[in-house]
């Protein structure tokens, strides 16, 4: 059983926390229980959000000189969430409790499981473009893309200083297929799936995406596409807080599965931006070019 279903859009976490908790914890409990009854191997998609904020971010002046304070290891890094009033953590805490439920069922009832913590899979077909084939606020990739397609400013929440690592969907799928085909190595493990080499701030991501857009449209004016700042409160409303950085330790996936990501950020963004441009170029422009810093 492979469970990918989730509400995993940051624009929902503050405003619809009950739906987020239902989709990411209460509903999947039933899937886990069926797997226990039927003695099935469950491959469950969790999230790197379960790590919360880094230790470094709580130590005053953020200092990333010590990897022990920010590197994310599947089996040893503490999972640090903000206060209850910051409902932004509804997603991360539901996913974390789900992981704990799966692990508990493994220990008590012998459930075979594999938990995957994706770190920003990027590629064609992710999310939707508001006003074309969906409504609402999608994740950062489609938000920036909407702004580029609409000729609207790309909006950076709180200056776009949050850092994320981006992994190509092709690398991610290769990791998942390796897990499925090598049960003896992937069973009863938690895996980070990300790319340490593709780290950017959200501000850098906006700049790189407009470069890719200029390249795929052969129009250099897009290099100057406007990027503006917006506060987290303004964009997400009450209860917003961001994870500062997500740098995965990937040694487990390499040692057990022989997996390493190979695709660079530049090629991943060019492929993705070109896909969206080809797909949506003939649609009329809308006024919705909004974008977020969170992924
Ligand atoms: N894509 C990423 O970079 C990323 C990062 C972290 C975690 N994840 C996790 O990986 C999984 C897949 O992510 P994705 O990017 O494909 O998300 P997605 O939003 O594209 O797909 C999730 C799908 O689940 C559906 N869904 C929600 N609740 C459901 C329910 N009760 N029953 C049936 N379907 C339901 C949604 O409608 C949606 O189509 C999710 O568990 C997500 O939390 C993905």
Residue 291 is predicted with a pLDDT of 42
CA–CA gap between residue 246 and residue 162 (Å, rounded): 9
Q: Does the structure show a pLDDT above 90 at 285?
A: no
Element (H, E) at 201: strand 199-201
CA–CA gap between residue 245 and residue 243 (Å, rounded): 6
Angle at 258 between CA 182 and CA 198, to 5 degrees: 120
- Using the mean position of ligand 1's atoms as its centre, give its distance from the Cα of residue 218 in Å: 34
Which of 6, 48, 97 most suits a substitution to test ligand 1, by most atoms within 8 Å of the C-beta?
A: 6
- Domains of the chain, by residue range, sit at 2-280
Sign of CA dihedral 128, 53, 203, 199: negative
Which of 2, 7, 8, 12 most suits a substitution to test ligand 1, by most atoms within 8 Å of the C-beta?
A: 8
- Using the mean position of ligand 1's atoms as its centre, give its distance from the Cα of residue 276 in Å: 20
In this structure, the chain runs to a length of 295
Whole-number average pLDDT of the chain: 93
pLDDT tens-place string over residues 113-141: 999 999 999 999 999 998 888 888 889 99
- Using the mean position of ligand 1's atoms as its centre, give its distance from the Cα of residue 98 in Å: 14
Residues with C-beta less than 6 Å from any ligand 1 atom: 4-8, 23, 27, 45, 47, 118, 120-121
Query: What is the β-pairing status of strands 163-165 and 199-201?
Result: antiparallel
What 54-61 contacts at long range (C-beta under 8 Å, 24+ apart), as own/partner pairs, is: 54/80, 54/243, 54/244, 54/245, 55/80, 56/244, 56/245, 57/244, 57/245
91 annotated active-site: yes
Atom of ligand 1 nearest to the CA of 5: 24
Element (H, E) at 268: helix 265-280
Residue 168 is predicted with a pLDDT of 98
Q: Report residue 293's pLDDT band, with 50, 70 and 90 as the boundaries.
A: very low
CATH 3.40.50.720 describes domain 2-280: yes
Which of 1, 2, 5, 123 most suits a substitution to test ligand 1, by most atoms within 8 Å of the C-beta?
A: 5
pLDDT tens-place string over residues 20-68: 999 999 999 999 999 999 999 999 999 999 999 999 998 877 789 999 9
- Beta-bridge partner residues of 121: 167
| Active-site choice (13, 51, 70, 91) | 91
Q: Whose CA is nearest to atom 6 of ligand 1?
A: 47
Q: Whose CA is nearest to atom 39 of ligand 1?
A: 5
- Using the mean position of ligand 1's atoms as its centre, give its distance from the Cα of residue 45 in Å: 8
Mean pLDDT of 204-217: 98
Which of helix, strand or coil describes residue 198?
A: coil
CA–CA gap between residue 88 and residue 23 (Å, rounded): 15
Query: Please, which residues have CB within 8 angstroms of residue 151's CB and are 6 or more apart in sequence?
Result: 285, 289
pLDDT tens-place string over residues 70-95: 999 999 999 999 999 999 999 999 99
Residue 290 is predicted with a pLDDT of 45
């Amino acid at each position: 059983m492979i469970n990918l279903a989730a509400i995993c859009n940051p624009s929902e976490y503050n405003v619809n926390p009950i739906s987020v908790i239902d989709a990411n914890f209460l509903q999947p409990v039933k899937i886990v229980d069926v797997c226990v009854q039927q003695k099935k191997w469950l491959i469950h998609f969790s999230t790197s959000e379960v790590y919360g904020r880094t230790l470094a971010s709580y130590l005053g002046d953020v200092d990333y000189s010590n990897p022990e304070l920010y590197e994310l290891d599947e089996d040893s890094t503490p999972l640090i969430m903000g206060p209850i009033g910051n409902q932004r953590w509804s997603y991360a805490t539901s996913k974390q409790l789900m992981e704990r439920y799966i692990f508990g069922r493994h220990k008590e009832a012998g459930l075979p499981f594999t938990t995957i913590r994706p770190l920003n899979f990027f590629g064609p077909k992710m999310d939707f473009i508001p006003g074309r084939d969906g409504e609402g606020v999608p994740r950062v990739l489609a938000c920036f893309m909407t702004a580029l397609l609409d000729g609207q400013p790309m909006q950076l929440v709180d200056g776009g200083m949050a850092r994320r690592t981006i992994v190509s969907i092709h690398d991610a799928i290769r990791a998942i297929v390796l897990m499925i085909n090598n049960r003896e190595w992937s069973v009863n493990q938690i895996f980070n799936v990300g790319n340490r080499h593709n780290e950017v701030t959200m501000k850098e991501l906006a700049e790189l995406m407009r470069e890719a857009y200029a390249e795929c449209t052969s129009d250099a004016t897009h290099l100057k596409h406007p990027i503006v700042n917006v506060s987290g409160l303004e964009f997400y409303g009450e209860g917003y807080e961001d994870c500062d950085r997500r740098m995965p330790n990937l040694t487990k996936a390499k040692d057990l599965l022989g997996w390493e990501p190979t695709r660079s950020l530049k090629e991943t963004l060019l492929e993705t931006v070109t896909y969206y441009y080809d797909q949506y170029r003939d649609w009329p422009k809308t006024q919705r070019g909004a974008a977020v810093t969170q992924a």
